[in-house]
Amino acid sequence: MDITLTQGIILAVIAIIAGFDFWLEGLYIFRPMIVCTLTGMALGDTTLGVVAGGLTELAFAGLTPAGGTQPPNPILAGVMTVVLAHTTGSNPSTAIGLALPFSFLMQYIILFYYSIFSVFMQKADKYAEEADTKGFARITILPMVIVALTYGVVVFLSAYVAQEPMKDLVNAMPKWLSHGFEIAGGILPAVGFGLLMKVMLKGKYLPYLMIGFLAASFIKFGNLLPVAVIGAAAAIYQFYNDKEKAELEKRVAESGNVGGGYEDGI
Amino acid sequence: MASNATETRENQKVLTKRDITKLGLRSVLLQASFNYERMQAGGWLYAMLPFLKKIYKNDKKGLSEAMKDHLEFINTSPPLVPFLMGLILSLEESKEKRNTINGLKVALFGPLAGIGDAIFWFTILPIVAGITASFCKDGNILGPIIFFLVYLAIFLMRIFWAHTGYSLGVRAIAKIKDNSEVISKAASILGVTVIGGLIATYVHINVLASFKISPGHSISLQKDFFDHIFPNILPLGYTFLMYYFLKKKNVSPVILILVTFVMAIILSFLGVL
């Protein structure tokens, strides 16, 4: 069965809404479970949507964006699994495999956006400098809108206009390009940390930066909590030291005052 | 003098319960302008902006300082972030030292991210997906409905987290005020320690290149050289290089981003990284 223009448009709208949600990780309607069901409803085959939703959700349950890595895109996987099962009549579990190229395509686009949106931050810095809240709101919403519209366009093209050319596009994409996006994603936080250090790092705090770095390099643990505990230990130590020092200084100053008064007296 | 101080502190309470509830809902904007350089920084600030505006009212300079600080790198757990936002806003409201606010924020977001990922991605999602998917096998629409309701509940929990974080902060403030100088230094130490950890965990540079020294025998630059000198030496080196350019040479971050990006693509093409 073919996809009609109306269905193509409805799917694009679903993708835009789910795209917003995927970007923000708000309601989790971007998960294949929900996306497949909605796609099934749009195509008039809810049962197919639900069945595909269960299968695709399980296939994608292990692929999470936790820790900053970007998995194959669940929205495109969800929409295209149902669309392909519906149009080609293949069963949903086969369709998951057929939908993967579309899922990869969107993953690459998102990776590209993650890198390129870094450039918007300078504009945001400028608005922060001027305390221009309206300008700042605009520059912050812009990426979200670009992403959501991209979802609409990609899903409309993939589902309605040009399934085959889209697949060819993915296959034609050289491996080094997508790998390059991933590498950029691994290195770009260094710029963010450089900026953070510019604000917070002073020479006297350098030892703590080294301790934190060492701890995280050698304690293999999926969470920075141990490092934070070490930092807290250092902070508490410093806290009591400084308090004692302040008290001592106060006492010295008091006795000094008495002496001073005496000297003044002379 | 002392009574004056308490008076201003009383006056500083400008955020209402309603504001904190709104903060919980707005916290969903955390990733609005997500990018690799500063990750959630833009959305973090945008979610809190109306309340910062309320706190700083006509103090344009104060607002600008706060906005700049909240635009620094942050990456944490989206479902739990309202807790951190509530806590930080309570400190902003009582006009704590900027070092205290920055230090605490930086120290807390990393561990919170780890906890959130463990709870939401590695525990709740597999369980919910597993259970609801079993409904789906026969095309039972209850599967997606239950799935949606669970995540709706998690979303609404944001309001609770925002209030929890805010009231925790308010209770802590009295203690902070008495030792503000000492605390701001301690918070900086805590923050800087965690930045060291962030560099080791978030920046990834893995050299793929290797040299053939004889047929069937080659030396991998990463495994046999860099890892033998020190783990994560390249991420540390590159981060300090960025710091040097930003601080000493006043290079714009945009240049550094573009150079890094282009370099990554080229080195990927050459097979070095």
**Taking the CB of residue B197, how many other CB atoms lie within 10 A of it?**
28
**Confidence class for position B11, pLDDT limits 50, 70, 90:** low
Nearest to B139 among A47, A197, A238 (CB): A47
Nearest to A217 among B141, B232, B256 (CB): B232
pLDDT of A65 reads 63
Q: How many CA atoms lie within 13 A of A74 on its CB side?
A: 30
Smallest CA–CA separation between B149 and chain A, in Å?
A: 9
pLDDT of A13 reads 96
As a whole number, mean pLDDT of residues A162-168 equals: 72
Q: Which of A29, A214, A217, A236 to mutate to test the interface with B (most CBs of B within 10 A)?
A: A217
**Taking the CB of residue B11, how many other CB atoms lie within 10 A of it?**
8
- CA-CA distances (angstroms) from residue B253 to A118, B13, B199, B224, B260? 9, 37, 17, 33, 10
**Confidence class for position A66, pLDDT limits 50, 70, 90:** low
Q: Which residue has the tokens 């802590």?
A: B172
Q: Which residues contact A249 (CB under 8 A, 6 or more apart)?
A: none
Smallest CA–CA separation between A98 and chain B, in Å?
A: 20
Which stretches of B59-209 are DSSP H helices?
60-70, 81-93, 98-116, 125-136, 142-178, 180-202
Question: Are A231 and B193 in contact (CB < 8 Å)?
Answer: yes
As a whole number, mean pLDDT of residues A79-83 equals: 93
pLDDT of A247 reads 85
Mean of the per-residue pLDDT values for chain A? 86
pLDDT in tens, B72-93: 999 999 999 999 999 999 999 9
Question: Are A224 and B269 in contact (CB < 8 Å)?
Answer: no
Indicate whether B214 pLDDT > 80: no
- Report d(CA B229, CA B234) in Å as an integer: 10
**Residues of chain B with pLDDT > 70: what percent?**
96
Q: Which residue has the tokens 């956006």?
A: A113
User: Per residue, what are the HEC states of chain A?
Assistant: CCCCHHHHHHHHHHHHHHHHHHHHCCCCCCCHHHHHHHHHHHCCCHHHHHHHHHHHHHHHCCCCCHHHCCCCCHHHHHHHHHHHHHHHCCCHHHHHHHHHHHHHHHHHHHHHHHHHHHHHHHHHHHHHHCCCHHHHHHHHHHHHHHHHHHHHHHHHHHHHHCHHHHHHHHHHCCHHHHHHHHHHHHHCHHHHHHHHHHHHCCHHHHHHHHHHHHHHHHCCCCCCHHHHHHHHHHHHHHHHHHHHHHHHHHHHHHHHHHHHHHHHHC
Q: Which of B55, B131, B185, B195 to mutate to test the interface with A (most CBs of A within 10 A)?
A: B195
Q: Between residues B2 and B83, which one has the greater pLDDT?
A: B83
Indicate whether A166 pLDDT > 50: yes
Nearest to B192 among A181, A186, A209 (CB): A209
Model ipTM?
Answer: 0.80
Q: Which of B58, B50, B43, B45 is nearest to B16 (CA)?
A: B50
CA of A229: which chain B residue's CA is closest? B190
pLDDT in tens, A187-217: 888 988 898 888 888 889 999 999 999 998 8
**Confidence class for position A1, pLDDT limits 50, 70, 90:** low
As a whole number, mean pLDDT of residues A137-161 equals: 94
**Confidence class for position A24, pLDDT limits 50, 70, 90:** very high
CA of B32: which chain A residue's CA is closest? A144
Q: Which of B104, B195, B87, B194 is nearest to A226 (CA)?
A: B194
Q: Which residue has the tokens 């001027």?
A: A130
Confirm or reject contact between B39 and chain A (CB < 8 A): yes
pLDDT of A107 reads 87
Where are chain A's structural domains? 5-195, 201-265
Q: Which residues of A touch B123 (CB under 8 A)?
A: none
**Confidence class for position A148, pLDDT limits 50, 70, 90:** very high
pLDDT of A196 reads 85
Indicate whether A111 pLDDT > 60: yes
pLDDT of A100 reads 81
pLDDT in tens, B163-197: 999 999 988 887 777 777 788 888 889 889 988 99
Indicate whether B139 pLDDT > 90: no
Indicate whether B240 pLDDT > 90: yes
Q: Which residues of B touch A14 (CB under 8 A)?
A: none
Q: Which of A47, A220, A227 to mutate to test the interface with B (most CBs of B within 10 A)?
A: A227
DSSP three-state, residue B216: coil
